[in-house]
Structure 1
Amino acid sequence: MDLGALQLTQSAAAVAVLAALLLAESAHPFFDFFRQRRTERGRHALRNLALGLANGALVAVVFASLWVLAADAASARGWGLLNLVPLAPWLHAMLAVLLLDVWTYAWHRANHVVPFLWRFHRVHHSDAHMDVTTASRFHTGEIVLSSALRIPLLVLIGATAWELVLYETLMFAVVQFHHANIGVGPRLDRALRAVIVTPHVHKVHHSRVQRETDSNYSALFSWWDRLFGSFRLRERPETIDFGLNQFPGEESMGSLLRMPLAPHYVEAEEAPEASGEAAGL
């Protein structure tokens, strides 16, 4: 499979979704973070996107070809869970997407539980003005660790390179969507979150309240949080305050990269009462 074509497809889809959501945020922002402060909004977006572009370049140069080699080797030698028995191509692809997504859930949850991993992951959570560009705001250390772990994961699963591209394209589109500074209406959000992660769901995950931060870990499909008991909603999402108390302001690129060296800190605020759905009703 042509690696260049795979990367081009992913990049084109990501840019198209990013552009559409930036326009939606400009027209109807859920939180008016940057009222009459467009320059500040531009700096915020540029900082997040620059970090994302740097990480994307690193992945493309160092890891993408290793992922394809691992996937192709597993397919050729019959390695991995999905190659234990013959499967129709559509079923193989569907199961690959599900297995990749449950791994993403587990990895995300580990980033909140393991102090060493949280040091890197808090770069993402320190954004006090969450919008679509926050979906690109990850520390390079976290990207390196997750990318390296994906190599043995692909062999264990037995996913093909095409299935990995399919998953990443779907996943990142939904990740951009649920980070966006938009609302989609209570009824539509309720219908969508039966399957995918929505803005209402993920806004809770970026709350300053630790009990809410440590919930809603799903990236693409929302049912993993319900299955593993980490689903939570806020009755009024407009009351959510984003960010981390340890890092109260806009951070420079240098401070974002140095953030893992800052002392470990645990939030200790009380969360408002969750909605009935969050309580499992």
Structure 2
Amino acid sequence: MESLLQQLQQTQVILMGAGLVVLFMWESVQPFYAWFNNSFKIRGLHAFRNLVIGAINALLVSVVFVGLWMVASVWAEENGFGMLHWLGSFITMPLWIHGIGAVLLLDFWMYAWHRINHEIPFFWRFHRVHHSDTEMDVTTASRFHLGEIFFSSLFRIPLIAFFGVYLWELVLYETIMFAVVQFHHANVGLPEKFDRYLRTVIVTPNMHRVHHSRWQPETDSNYSSLFSFWDRLAQTFRLNPEPKNIRIGLDEFDKDEDQTIRGMMKTPLADNEPD
């Protein structure tokens, strides 16, 4: 099991790096929105800021929370605690079925957590950092306030135990989920027919662009991270027939200083209200 976990962690790092490079190049060749006015310097600064935020978050998670997640997972396994372990005591559950169950439970939680970040004002203060990016691209997938990552990681500790999730299943889920998150934040376009077929299963760029709209009814929709069907089940699914016309960002965070690393870190303290 330790060998599997190590392989998954290595694969996760490789896929994150490869996804960033491939999607960044795709955006360069055929961008969906004409951000940055063909200025590599401006685009590079935008990417640098978002990726620095992402690196800080990754450091927090690896130093503080991964060990706690492992403790929760091992405790649940040793004590037969958690939904999947309880279910396994009644029926024979192959490892791959356990893995699918874990991925679905974790993704359902991500839907719920994302919605919480929009509906509870305290958490929205932190989540605004992600939505305030006016030039959404693949690096926006890494742009989350440290406070949001802290609370997300903290709440995950009891959930790992309650769901009865193995740590390798968590790594597997995050590997798949983050690849999809990079994809649907990327400034790339797909043929509408292909996007439509694809979003029956996973979140696609045209689906997630609606979520980053400045118009609140669109902002408060499409909360799914990996599988798109949670939004359909919860009736929060929404599309815009003209995705090119979606205005990305938040009206109250349009100043240049709001896009700096310092500005992003200060965003939760701001009492800005949209005009």
The corresponding residue for 2:269 is: 261
User: Is residue 2:216 matched to residue 1:210?
Assistant: yes
CA distance in 2, matches of 1:169, 1:145: 20
CA distance in 1, matches of 2:18, 2:142: 14
8 Å CA contact 1:128, 1:249 repeated in 2: no
CA distance in 1, matches of 2:87, 2:212: 41
Displaced runs of 4 or more, over 4 A? 2-6
The corresponding residue for 1:278 is: none
Question: What displacement does 1:85 show?
Answer: 2.8
The corresponding residue for 1:173 is: 179
User: Is residue 2:130 matched to residue 1:128?
Assistant: no
Alignment of 1:1-281 (within 5 A): 1=2, 6-86=8-88, 87-250=93-256, 251-263=259-271, 265=273
Deviations 1:126-166 (A, max 9, x none): 00000000000000000000000000000000011111111
CA distance in 1, matches of 2:155, 2:222: 22
CA distance in 2, matches of 1:264, 1:102: 31
SS at match of 1:224: helix
Question: What displacement does 1:62 show?
Answer: 0.7
CA distance in 2, matches of 1:160, 1:264: 42
SS at match of 2:254: coil
Question: What displacement does 1:76 show?
Answer: 1.9
Question: How many residues are matched?
Answer: 267
2:269 counterpart letter in structure 1: L
Question: What displacement does 1:36 show?
Answer: 2.7
Higher helix proportion: 2
CA distance in 2, matches of 1:11, 1:205: 27
8 Å CA contact 1:195, 1:222 repeated in 2: yes
Question: What displacement does 1:5 show?
Answer: 5.0
SS at match of 1:195: coil
Question: What displacement does 1:249 show?
Answer: 3.4
TM-score, normalization: structure 1? 0.92
Distance verdict in 2 for CA 1:63–1:4, change over 3 Å: farther
Question: What displacement does 1:70 show?
Answer: 1.1
Structure 2 unmatched ranges of 5 or more = none
Deviations 1:94-121 (A, max 9, x none): 1110000000000000000000000000
Q: Once structures 1 and 2 are overlaid, which stretch shifts more, 9-18 or 222-231?
A: 9-18
Distance verdict in 2 for CA 1:84–1:264, change over 3 Å: farther
SS at match of 1:35: helix
Question: What displacement does 1:231 show?
Answer: 0.4
Question: What displacement does 1:32 show?
Answer: 1.1
Identity %: 54
Q: Once structures 1 and 2 are overlaid, which stretch shifts more, 7-16 or 90-99?
A: 7-16
Q: Once structures 1 and 2 are overlaid, which stretch shifts more, 64-73 or 127-136?
A: 64-73
Structure 1 unmatched ranges of 5 or more = 269-281
1:256 counterpart letter in structure 2: M
Q: How well do the aligned residues superpose, as a CA RMSD in angstroms?
A: 1.3
Deviations 1:217-264 (A, max 9, x none): 000000000000100000010001100000013411111001100015
The corresponding residue for 1:277 is: none
CA distance in 2, matches of 1:5, 1:171: 17
